[in-house]
Amino acid sequence: MADVPIDIAYISRLARISLTGEESSRFSGQFVRLFDFIRELQALDVSGVHATAQVIPLSNVMREDELKPCLTQDEALANAPAREGPFFKAPRILE
Amino acid sequence: METGHDIRDAIARRDRSAEEVTRAALDAIGRVEPSLRAYITLLPERAMAKAREVDAKIAKGEAIGKLAGVPTAVKDLFCLKDALTTCGSKILANFKPPFSSTVVQRLDAADAVIVGKTNMDEFAMGSSCENSAFFPTHNPYDLEGVPGGSSGGSASTVGARSVPLAVGTDTGGSIREPASFCNIVGVKPTYGRVSRYGMIAFASSLDQAGPMTADVRDAADLLGAIAGFDPMDSTSVDVPVPDYGAGLRDDLKGVRIGIVRDFEESIAVDPKMAKLYKDAYEDLAKLGATFVDVTLPHAKYGLATYYLIAPAECSSNLARYDGTRYGVRKDGDADVYAMFDKTRTAGFGDEVKRRIILGTYALCSGYYDAYYVRAQKVRTLMKNDFDAAFAACDVIACPAVSCPPFELGAKSDPVAMYLMDYFTIPMSLAGIPAMSVPGGFVDGLPVGLQICAPAFEEARMLAVAHAYEQATRHADKLQPVVS
């Protein structure tokens, strides 16, 4: 398969990133070459092999539900690009 | 070369004050910074205040930490309270975290003097430190060359001997490769050994912080200071941290070293690199080690596996950069989706966009099983390969890189850049500890020897690296071109 299977326009819309025409065609060319590697995985027999999501066998890491110190409201909002009182301010979502 | 442990001992003996040492380090950084550009942010006031605190403790006869007074640099992805923390990206160009990462808190607790935040490839994506949104960093042994990435700033400042200690992070080789390029020691610990709390995430199942230092003893001391269980990170593992410094040794009698046949075939295509590693193995043999042939039959699938898993995790982690809660917002008056799009389009660089798109694709319904899940299964096979190899040997010795440092701009093709990590990615996917120790020179430029060990056996790995380092002293054989 010589062409890249990625519909770049569709995927970049999902990722909330706009690409210029030049970027789209450059990335396409690079993905074609990258998929030459990625397709090698299809040749492997992985039937019966479990998937490793992370290497350390930890699961259900819990702690007691106790109150602990946390950021103050002002600290949490300190990096907000825009704020209004105790809120993050963003463009309207609902009309 | 002055090491961190030399400095710490001199300060503890009161031969030098921490203030004097810190001022000297800041002067050294200032002299070379126009040529190297290793730092995004310097923190001279914080450093001097910490140095005075250490001196006051000594004057009062109080106990001091293991890294007391030692100038230390941290990669600019470790949150440091109220200090600029950019992760090498324009999207975080104004971000000042309201808290410090566990790594920074532990450095403070060990009385290290943090002098600044080092340059890096944007969101730790890259193998040359040329993907920083701000400026590239230069190699201290060849100013036209790259320092390696993504922890290039940390590697460069230690390689230039401005500071003896730095902390970097490694996702697919980002500590080991720049350590190799800059003639220093770089350690990627076992996944889960060092807390990731407050470390800006790239690929969460792979990212791991570790030491980048002047010598192996410094790496042992620094790892001892930052390692250990942290309840703030649910992937942190509660395994005791040994005294790494106490376990260092000077010979390798009784040590079985695995040589990876598959890697030897790959490195054989470059006679100069092959000769360097052959010499390195001979040096290990002279120290008393015996060798065992091992195979990692799935290592050749490492790149493909990594370039599905890491971008998939990055596309998910970087979804948080939407201009709402922190970072640089673009076009705040537009509708919210336009704001997300404009912010991310303007804020991310090429490499980050490329990986987000690749990762978004790999996680798409319909492709998820064919790509992402399959890659995770191959990851299992790779982990099994290491388990089988370590049944026959104590540690593995192999190349850290396939070439010495290259010139800035020489690898403009991203796929060529990805190939740089061929020898480091399999260990990252398996989560095992691996390190690069100076291994010699090719065409007058440094190259590292990689040593890796089973999970949580960093002490064994450091002991082997120490014996090799003490016998060969490659780091002392070449002076940086800036100082």
* Residue B327 with chain A: CB contacts under 8 Å: 79, 81
Count of other CB atoms within 10 angstroms of residue B380: 19
Q: Distance (Å, rounded) from C-alpha B183 to C-alpha B160?
A: 9
Partner A, chain B 451-480, Cβ-Cβ below 8 Å: 455
Chain B residues whose CB is inside 8 A of the A8 CB are: 357
C-alpha pair distances (Å), B164 with each of B201, B277, B395: 26, 26, 26
Residue in chain B closest to A14 (alpha carbons) equals B360
Query: Which parts of chain B sit beneath pLDDT 50?
Result: none
Is B195 a residue of the active site?
no
**What whole-number distance in Å separates Cα of residue B98 and Cα of residue B100?**
7
- B75 in catalytic set: yes
Pairwise CA distance, residues B133 & B314, whole Å? 17
Distances (CA, A) of B72 to A11, B35, B89, B114, B133: 42, 20, 22, 5, 23
* Interface test with chain A among B415, B419, B429, B456, by most A beta carbons within 10 Å: B415
* DSSP, residue by residue, B375-441: HHHHHHHHHHHHHHHHTT-SEEEEES-SSS--BTTS--SHHHHHGGGTTTHHHHHHT--EEEEEEEE
> Looking at residue A1, what is its pLDDT?
40
Q: How sure is the predictor about A37, in pLDDT bands with cuts at 50, 70 and 90? A: confident
Place of tokens 């640089």: B328
- Whether B174 is a known active-site residue: answer yes
* Predicted confidence (pLDDT) per residue in A46-85, tens digit: 999 999 988 987 888 888 999 999 999 999 999 999 999 9
Q: Does B348 touch chain A (CB under 8 A)?
A: yes
Residues of B with CB below 8 A from A69's CB?
none
Identify the active-site residue in B50, B66, B75, B411.
B75
Q: Looking at residue B419, what is its pLDDT?
A: 87
- How does residue A95 score in pLDDT terms, banded at 50, 70 and 90? confident
Cβ contacts of A44 on chain B, cutoff 8 Å = 298, 301, 374, 378, 381
Instruction: Write out residues 30-49 of A within 8 Å (CB-CB) of B.
Output: 30-31, 33-34, 37-42, 44, 46, 49
Tell me the backbone φ, ψ of residue B210, rounded to 5 degrees.
-165, 170
Q: Do A17 and B334 lie within an 8 Å CB cutoff?
A: no
Given this model, what pLDDT does residue A4 score? 64
Contact flag A91-B335 (C-beta cutoff 8 Å):
yes
Q: Given an 8 Å threshold on Cβ–Cβ distance, is A52 in contact with B379?
A: yes
Q: Does residue A78 sit at the B interface (CB-CB below 8 Å)?
A: yes
